[in-house]
């Protein structure tokens, strides 16, 4: 019996979720991908902000392989040393913004868990979120996601949620958190076009929410794990929410999620409150620990800041009006964004679009090399030089 084909036409059993790139990926290394025709692509998309230490980093591959040979999996019904070591490593990496961690599998699951815990701890069942926020496709995560396209047919099963306009101080002053279990926000909204939450506004939100007994969740599924030049956006802002959720780049492509919290919050939990069969699996923990070690050893957080400064100095011009974001979560703003994306694709450079038609997203591996940076700059400058 033949279960699958490795040659010939692509099988048609798979349900497409996104419009795929105009080529078939064969393999990757560092910040590059190669297609099945032998074409080489510079990856400024990073598998949607996932490939923190690049494609198939040898130390990451070795860590995964060694752990798979030792123990591929056991659930949290059994104590496994690497799970404890991974928890300690992530808290140490977080540099003071959290004390305890619960491991799960995805960003949506991490957000779902944080929202559920906020309900459990406050006795409330309503949420607050931010206009333009995107938090996942599970029920509570979708309840706080501002995307009519995925909410429209499910409104009756979603939890009640009010949406605040981003960085609007007057609206925040008017808002009543007293009925809300939790408020969730992305420090940088990626899907909406790299919209940055201002520090003073976030600080005021935290203070007002806490004064009303409402818990605060930072969705750092994309902003975390060194991408902004610090471990998390919470470190950048100098603020401590009740929960920080993480996934995507946490294990550089091996599925893993996490909910980080303070000791005071963790002390309110009881044994039955949390559970995940696959969360904190041994191989996922090995991949996460290797990711963190590589980021620290290779000083990749410093590197993200250096690259950001260079891109800010080189990319702005007549047809690129702004570079949004921070570190290596950036948005190129241009009224000609569609044409620029086509130009970059023609030069075999992958970038992401967004819900803002004027913004292209850069979410590359943190191991981005100088030649790749130079090629992006060259391609954008060549685009700028062409008469509109």
Asked if residues 290 and 63 have their Cβ atoms less than 8 Å apart, the reply is: yes
Whether residue 95 sits in one domain with residue 181: yes
Asked if residue 319 belongs to a domain, the reply is yes
Whether residue 106 sits in one domain with residue 64: yes
Asked if residue 341 belongs to a domain, the reply is yes
Long-range contacts of residues 273-279, Cβ cutoff 8 Å, at least 24 apart: 273/117, 273/120, 274/102, 274/113, 274/117, 275/76, 276/76, 276/102, 276/103, 276/104, 276/105, 276/109, 277/75, 278/73, 278/75, 278/105, 279/76, 279/102, 279/103, 279/104, 279/105, 279/109
Asked if residue 305 belongs to a domain, the reply is yes
- Residue 20 has a pLDDT of 87
The residue out of 297, 328, 362 marking a domain boundary is 297
Whether residue 354 sits in one domain with residue 257: no
Non-local (6+) Cβ contacts of 291 within 8 A are 52, 53, 60, 225, 249, 250, 251, 252
- Residue 272 has a pLDDT of 87
Residue 362, domain CATH:
3.90.1150.10
Give the pair of three-digit tokens for residue 108: 């949506």
Asked if residue 352 belongs to a domain, the reply is yes
Domain span at residue 224 reads: 58-297
Whether residue 250 sits in one domain with residue 193: yes
Asked if residue 20 belongs to a domain, the reply is no
The residue out of 252, 267, 297 marking a domain boundary is 297
Whether residue 63 sits in one domain with residue 176: yes
The residue out of 241, 267, 297 marking a domain boundary is 297
- Residue 357 has a pLDDT of 97
Whether residue 156 sits in one domain with residue 269: yes
From first to last of its 388 residues, the chain has per-residue pLDDT tens of: 555 555 555 557 989 888 888 899 999 999 999 999 999 999 999 999 999 999 999 999 999 999 999 999 999 999 999 999 999 999 999 999 999 999 999 999 999 999 999 999 999 999 999 999 999 999 999 999 999 999 999 999 999 999 999 999 999 999 999 999 999 999 999 999 999 999 999 999 999 999 999 999 999 999 999 999 999 999 999 999 999 999 999 999 999 999 999 999 999 999 889 999 999 999 999 999 999 999 999 999 999 999 999 999 999 999 999 999 999 999 999 999 999 999 999 999 999 999 999 999 999 999 999 999 999 999 999 999 985 5
Q: CA 383, CA 388: separation in Å to the nearest integer?
A: 10
- Residue 119 has a pLDDT of 98
Asked if residue 150 belongs to a domain, the reply is yes
Whether residue 172 sits in one domain with residue 45: no
Whether residue 49 sits in one domain with residue 63: no
Asked if residue 15 belongs to a domain, the reply is no
Asked if residue 195 belongs to a domain, the reply is yes
Residue 118, domain CATH:
3.40.640.10
Q: Give per-residue pLDDT as tens, 119-161.
A: 999 999 999 999 999 999 999 999 999 999 999 999 999 999 9
**Phi, psi of 260, rounded to the nearest 5 degrees:** -100, 145
- Residue 172 has a pLDDT of 98
Q: How many helices (H) and strands (E) does the chain have?
A: 14, 16
> Residue 334, exposed/middle/buried by CB under 10 A (0-12, 13-18, 19+)?
buried
Whether residue 344 sits in one domain with residue 247: no
Whether residue 272 sits in one domain with residue 152: yes
- Residue 19 has a pLDDT of 84
Whether residue 32 sits in one domain with residue 68: no
Count of structural domains, the chain: 2
Whether residue 246 sits in one domain with residue 146: yes
């Amino acid at each position: 019996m033949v279960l699958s084909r490795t040659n010939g036409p692509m099988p048609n059993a798979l349900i497409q979720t996104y419009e795929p790139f105009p080529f078939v990926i064969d393999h990757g290394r560092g910040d590059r991908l190669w297609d099945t025709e032998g074409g080489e692509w510079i990856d400024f998309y990073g598998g949607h902000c996932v490939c923190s230490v690049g494609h198939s980093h040898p130390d990451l591959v070795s860590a995964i392989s060694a752990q798979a040979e030792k123990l591929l999996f056991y659930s949290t019904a059994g104590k496994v040393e690497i799970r404890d070591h991974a928890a300690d490593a992530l808290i140490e990496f977080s540099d003071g913004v959290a004390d305890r961690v619960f491991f799960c599998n995805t960003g949506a699951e991490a957000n779902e868990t944080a929202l559920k815990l906020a309900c459990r701890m406050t006795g409330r069942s309503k949420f607050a979120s931010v206009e333009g926020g995107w938090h996942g496709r599970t029920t509570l995560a979708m309840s706080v996601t501002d995307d009519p396209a995925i909410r429209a047919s499910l409104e009756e099963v979603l939890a009640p949620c009010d949406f605040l306009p981003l960085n609007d101080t007057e609206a925040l002053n008017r808002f009543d958190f007293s009925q809300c279990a939790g408020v969730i926000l992305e420090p940088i909204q990626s899907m909406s076009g790299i919209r940055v939450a201002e520090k003073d506004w976030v600080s005021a939100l935290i203070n007002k929410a806490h004064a009303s007994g409402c818990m605060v969740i930072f969705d750092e599924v994309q902003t975390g794990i060194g991408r902004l030049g610090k471990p998390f956006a919470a470190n950048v802002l100098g603020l401590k929410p009740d929960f920080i959720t993480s996934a995507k780049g946490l294990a550089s492509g091996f599925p893993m999620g996490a909910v980080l919290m303070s000791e005071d919050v963790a002390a309110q939990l009881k044994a039955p409150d949390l559970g995940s069969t696959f969360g904190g699996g041994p191989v996922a923990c090995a991949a996460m620990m290797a990711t963190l070690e590589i980021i620290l050893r290779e000083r990749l957080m410093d590197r993200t800041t250096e690259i950001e400064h260079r891109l800010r100095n080189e990319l702005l011009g007549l047809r690129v009006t702004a570079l949004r974001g921070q570190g290596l979560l950036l948005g190129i703003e241009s009224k000609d964004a569609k044409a620029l994306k086509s130009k970059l694709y023609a030069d075999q450079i992958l970038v992401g679009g967004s819900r803002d038609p004027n913004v292209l997203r850069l979410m590359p591996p943190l191991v981005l090399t100088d030649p790749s940076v130079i090629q992006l700059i060259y391609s954008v400058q060549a685009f700028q030089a062409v008469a509109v």
